[in-house]
Chain A
Amino acid sequence: MPIAFINGQKIQYSEKDRTILDVSRLAGIYIPTLCDHNELEAFGGCRMCLVEVEGMRGYVPACATVIKDGMVIKTETEKLATLKKRILQLLMIEHPTACLVCDIHDECFRFRPQMQKSGKITGCYTCPKRDKCELSKVVTYLGITDLDYEPEYKKISVERDDPFFDRDYNLCILCARCVRVCEDVRGTGAITLAKRGHETRVDTAFGVSHLESGCWFCGACIDVCSTGALCPRKTKWTGVPDSSIETTCVLCGIGCQVELDVKFKKIMGSFPGNTANPPNYHHLCVLGRFCIPSLINASDRLKYPTIRKLGVNVPVPWQEAINEAACLLKETPASKVAFIGSPHLSSESAYLFQKLARTAIGTSNVDFRGSDFPALIYQELSDETDFTRIQTLDHLGSVDWVISVGGDFVKTHQVVAKAVSMAIRRGLQLVTIGRAGLNQRRLSSVYIDVEPNEFLPIISKLADKDAKIPGISADTTAKLLSVVSQGNGAILVGNRIMESSDPYKCLRELVRLAGEHGVIFPLYNLGNEAGAVRAGLRPDFLPGPSSITVEEARLKFEKEWGKHIISGLTLKEMRDKAINGELDVLYVTDGSVPVKGFERVSKIIYQSPYPSPWLNLASVILPSACFVEEDGTFVNQELRILKLKQVVPPPGLAKQDWAIFIELAHSLRADGFAHKSVDKVWKELACYARIMGVGGQARRVSGSHLAIEENEWYPRYRGATLAERIADLAIFIRALPKREPSVSTETLDDVVKRIKQHQAALKEGT
């Protein structure tokens, strides 16, 4: 094992700990740093980690210097301390330092436990980052209590024109972490260092707004900011939280770990979870980073169970509402009852919901919005080898290339985009087939802009390694083949594949293209689709999921539940039936399902945390809890089992979905609903293995019903349309089409010429 001497101490290190800083940290030797960040490459800008190394000229930055066997390093000498103190003082003269030089600094901090809200941040006591500031830690460590030079306040006005976060670059110390995380980790590159000398600052290219610059508002820049320069606007002044709890976000199929700050039993802010926690490893998208508090704390949440009496929704006690619902369900023949689940239910709730339908009522008319896509994945990859191709994003490291089909993951799945862009930085090449936005095109080595119905011929030809693909130039084909012809690939499948001429075949060909050890990442847009399908929330699936057409599976469940099971109606079929007036009772748990077509259903039970157009039709309204208000399980698109944790209590009398289903089952006197907790439900669900059978796939290739409902990214959560509730998100989503400029054929010289002509014309005009 190699050895180094740090401050006279003999330290052994393993080869993988590369720099002096790494080794020092492992040995417990503190070296102050400001621009270093564990996710980013060494920058060497702040000069706080300078050390002396015997045999090397001057001082060297510990963060960027690779340690060598036998190196003699000094991290704390008098000279170094003086140098660093002076450098830090220079840094501090650009930073608001009212508190640093204040005489009553200590008393002030003792008697003012929270920072004070202020329009202009002049010192630590008006800084929202006061308690998490990295700069102040280094200042304390180096013992700076006064400034030798005149302060040099930059007088930049606080930038508040963009949604979600404020930028006060007067506080910025130019550690450039935000710039680096945006470009190197997230692959966005919306911000950069601009100008030179003392005027250097973080800015977008040409100073346009973040909305125009291509920012996805993922908030990564805020999370790495070492000062209070970047702050989320809504949660800036909430102060120290009472507690912070990590749970799973259900707003798309990734299932990111989010840390929620709780104060006074309300959610105050959401932050990325622990760096070590998959699947998102401390990264979020705009929804998880900024939208959760506004969504959960909405004032119009449903809080009381109601029953429609004489055309008015009248609040009633829970038991009465449950009995009423049970009554409606019991009175009607099973074939005329339908259950609409939600991709945002926890797996346990989804399981209980379909069990309720199948055992207590005796119908398989259960489905949820957008279930076709996950069903396709489960059905087509039913074979055990194929199924194990669905892998975690960590496997991007073990493939040779990536292909994205039928989706713009940069827009819909920012965290996937992060993983892919990191892989691209390591040398992977990305091929995009199907329409994608500017950012994804920028990441792609080859981009083929085709409509979904052309996916199949292209993919088949590619899988055959055929150099002639109709409609694509020979150059592009050659480039494509040069990328995909070697090794194993990773396939990112978006839900637009459902619009292709034959999605099943398309998926099969993709699997063939990926190679022997290729992997597949389905991109679910909505939420717990994988969990819901696993729980059997489909007319043709039983828990596991097991195909209803596989005799063995069906008999097993018939025996277990004591009911005859037949295949049920899909959502589309339910709607068709409802239009014909053949549906009497509908149990809806997802307000985001369009009401259209269901107007003639006489009795509707609506269960959701949010109001929606269903309210006007509903006979019984059951208020339920949001995902942060319940325990449960989430299965993400990589088939990871992620846990939902109750962070705050539900508002008013609202109850968790699974508890409502259990009560309803009791009221219906159904057997098999004796679960005392969610864990028990999960245990029961987890016992069911996947039985898809070989050759027994429940193929439903009738075509028309495969059209998906949600092909545009417009996040909805159980009746709450996020953009309608969160003004900032609406601004962001509205700005998205505007930043997809048509590709210009102008050369740079043409541009210069045009500008000159324009200027000349202006001059003439004046």
Chain B
Amino acid sequence: MTLNTDRIELLVCLGTGCESAKSSIIYQHLIEAIDKKKLGDRVEVKRIGCHGFCQQGPVIAVEPEGLFYCQVQESDVNEIVESHLIGGKPIERLFYNGPSGEKIPHYKDIPFYSKQQRVVLKNSGHIDPANIDDYIEVGGYRGLERALKNLAPEEVVEEIMKSGLRGRGGAGFPTGLKWKLCRNSPDNKKYAICNADEGDPGAFMDAAILIADPFAVLEGLSIAAYAIGANEAYIYFRREKPAAIASIRRALKVSYERGFLGKNIFGTNFSLEIHTVEGAGAFVCGEETALMASIEGRRGMPRPRPPFPAESGLWGKPTVINNVKSLASVSIILREGWEWFKAIGTEGTSGTAIFSLTGKIVNTGLVEIPMGSTLRHIIFDIGGGVKNGKTFKAVQTGGPAGGCLPIEKLDMPVDFDSLRAVGAIMGSGGMIVMDETTCMVDVAHYFLSFTQAESCGKCTPCRVGTLQMLNILDKIRSGRGEGGDIERLYELCDTVTGGSLCGLGQNAPNPVLTTLQYFRDEYEAHIKDKSCPAMVCREMVKFTIDPKKCIACGACKRICPSGAVQGEPKQFHSIRQELCIKCGACYEACPPKVGAVVKMPAHKSLVEVKEEAA
């Protein structure tokens, strides 16, 4: 393959995933090398936001061909310059390895990309997020221009209502309706807020959009402000995502300079100020009333609704709060028209869904699909299936308050209503895949311990109820479970769901409820048989050495931190259970060929396990 070397754009991903794999250093090296070779007139190195395929980071896209280098190292920089930029010969070694081992040079051919439909993420990884002209070039600010010049605020609201956009923050409340309520509230001071407080563990969609395409969010926020009649808006971040904050602040500065913010935007009467607020990182501050309390400088605690923010929100004024993805969609709807948007997705939920796909999955990354695609499509077609050849067990959607869905639900369409019907939620778009080595009781415990720790402490069911559930799960996990625990869990779930003040508490039991519903046998195994089928729960697992396989190499003995492994050279080794702390070091140390250390249920003997296996 020979390449056109007249005009080359190197797009270096500086999204969080690639950045943590030192892509910024690669970027620096590239610039220096190009300077040195004086290639500056025909090669341009650009920083881009998240390209999406985080698993393969650091990634570099080469335009206009659309070549895709992945897992680039610092040491590869010289080769790229010499071979590709000067020699016009691409480096095949850095191409993506396809599922069947073949090299795929263009990203459009990689299944991870080709099976997605990128609408909101269209610009991500293709434009320089710091450059407003890049954004304008790909159609940016056309939506705002159209809204301000051609449409009355009521018509903008109408347009959004017709598009069928539902809030991407989790609950899926119709965005247009929310705007209409706020628009109709009689008050001359109103606020629009962008909720960028993305706090779910393992979720990075909002941050990725803010880093890769900040102007789209600002445009959407401007449209929202215009539609409801606000001239002040806020963006609420969490401090832990500094890259996103920096990106938006940079974008804000440019927008003010270029007149897309400030007084008389597009020469109209519409003026807008956007403030940024950094939250200290409380999960509950993603809840709208808590978020507003936090902006006002108070402790981030939800308050009862009604009154809804659309009637009485920030500083007691009518307020609209929208998620980053909703606002990015708004820009597109205004640009392309509601009919275009409505055509994507399903009848009840139009548009696309964005997930950050993580967990035991081959292709970790940012995924955008039309609403109504199946889970199987996301996990297997795009995600490439479960890692390391393991079998799929469950998928958890919707962040810590979401639910775990088993393999039977894989063909279910993904949208707000279908997910809620099976006990999970859309949430803001986290998706965690689990394989057979995941214990569902442990998973429930993990998610619940997160919501418990993040409960604001205001209402009793959430503060104490989740703790009680956690205690019971802990009991079950450590082999002290007893009859009635499952019923008690159900009872507590009921209390916490029914009694809690805000969405955090009301949804906190979801991981427990869904695991109880779909994996009840696992709970029963823990309680009745005192065994953990996935062999995760430490109290129910033991390590033994199969004397028939042991070659007395001593690897396990050397690594054992507690001196539990007994044995002399040329003798079979054994593990003293009373000293074992079940760290699994010996299991890892035993050479795979030998496989003498066995991980097995604590209550069984080696003979029994072998017989069962046979």
| Residues of A near any B CB (own CB < 8 A) | 42-47, 50, 58-61, 64-66, 83, 86-88, 90-91, 93-94, 148-150, 152, 173-174, 176, 192-193, 195-201
Contacts and interface: CB of A to CB of B under 8 A. Distances in A.
Question: Across chains A and B, which 9 residue pairs bring their CB atoms closest together, nearest first?
Answer: A200-B457, A44-B304, A64-B304, A90-B464, A86-B495, A197-B453, A45-B458, A91-B460, A198-B467
A46 to B, nearest CB: 6
A196 B467 contact: no
Contacts of B461: 47, 87, 90
Contacts of A64: 303-304
B304 A42 contact: yes
A149 B304 contact: no
B299 A192 contact: yes
27 contacts: A43-B458, A44-B304, A45-B458, A46-B460, A47-B459, A59-B499, A61-B501, A64-B304, A65-B306, A83-B495, A83-B498, A86-B492, A87-B460, A87-B495, A90-B461, A90-B464, A90-B468, A148-B488, A152-B464, A174-B458, A192-B299, A195-B457, A196-B282, A197-B453, A197-B457, A198-B457, A201-B457
B452 A90 contact: no
Contacts of B498: 58-59, 83
B499 A196 contact: no
Contacts of A199: 457
A22 to B, nearest CB: 15
Given A83-B494, A87-B465, A90-B495, 7 more contacts: A43-B458, A47-B461, A60-B304, A86-B499, A94-B464, A193-B299, A193-B458
A174 B458 CA distance: 7
A45 B289 CA distance: 14
B468 A93 contact: yes
Contacts of B494: 83
Contact of B464 (A45, A61, A93): A93
Contacts of A87: 460-461, 465, 495, 499
Interface string B486-519: 0010011011001111000010000000000000
Contact of A90 (B457, B465, B488, B501): B465
Contacts of A93: 464, 468
A173 B488 CA distance: 23
A73 to B, nearest CB: 15
A201 B495 CA distance: 22
A401 B488 CA distance: 58
Contacts of B458: 43-45, 174, 176, 193, 200
Contact of B463 (A50, A58, A61, A198): A198
Nearest to B470: A198
B125 to A, nearest CB: 32
B454 interface: yes
A499 to B, nearest CB: 37
Contacts of B495: 83, 86-87, 90
B301 A50 contact: no
A192 B458 CA distance: 12
Contacts of B301: 193
Contacts of B506: 58
B391 interface: no
A196 B460 contact: no
A148 B282 CA distance: 31
B319 interface: no
B352 interface: no
Interface of B: 282, 284, 299, 301, 303-304, 306-307, 452-461, 463-468, 471, 488, 491-492, 494-495, 498-501, 506
Contacts of A60: 304
B418 to A, nearest CB: 20
B188 to A, nearest CB: 16
A45 B299 contact: no
A152 B461 CA distance: 14
A197 B499 contact: no
A44 B303 contact: yes
B242 to A, nearest CB: 13
B467 A45 contact: no
Given A44-B501, A87-B495, A196 B464 contact: no
A528 to B, nearest CB: 41
Contact of B453 (A46, A59, A196): A196
Contacts of A46: 459-460
Contacts of A195: 457
Contacts of B303: 43-44, 64
A749 to B, nearest CB: 13
B463 A197 contact: yes
Nearest to B505: A47
Given A42-B304, A44-B303, A86-B491, A196 B454 contact: yes
A198 to B, nearest CB: 5
Nearest to B495: A86
Q: Which of A59, A86, A192, A200 lies at the interface centre, i.e. has the most chain B CB atoms within 10 A of its CB?
A: A86
Contacts of B501: 44-45, 47, 61
A724 to B, nearest CB: 40
Nearest to A47: B499
A442 to B, nearest CB: 12
A446 to B, nearest CB: 20
Q: Which of B299, B306, B464, B468 lies at the interface centre, i.e. has the most chain A CB atoms within 10 A of its CB?
A: B464
A87 B454 CA distance: 19
B442 to A, nearest CB: 19
B306 to A, nearest CB: 7
Contacts of A174: 457-458, 460, 463
A91 B471 CA distance: 16
Contacts of A197: 452-455, 457, 463, 466-467
B457 A83 contact: no
Contacts of A152: 464, 467
A150 B475 CA distance: 12
Contacts of B284: 196
A198 B301 CA distance: 15
A12 B299 CA distance: 38
B329 to A, nearest CB: 26
B464 to A, nearest CB: 4
B467 to A, nearest CB: 5
A212 to B, nearest CB: 20
Contacts of B491: 86
Contacts of B499: 47, 50, 59, 83, 86-87
B455 A196 contact: yes
B485 to A, nearest CB: 12
A61 B304 contact: yes
A173 B306 CA distance: 25
A90 B299 CA distance: 24
Nearest to A45: B458
A94 B460 CA distance: 10
Nearest to B453: A197
Contacts of B453: 196-197
A61 B460 CA distance: 13
B202 to A, nearest CB: 20
A69 B127 CA distance: 55
Nearest to B472: A149
Nearest to A85: B495
B471 A150 contact: yes
Contacts of A50: 499
A149 B471 CA distance: 10
A69 B501 CA distance: 24
A66 B306 contact: yes
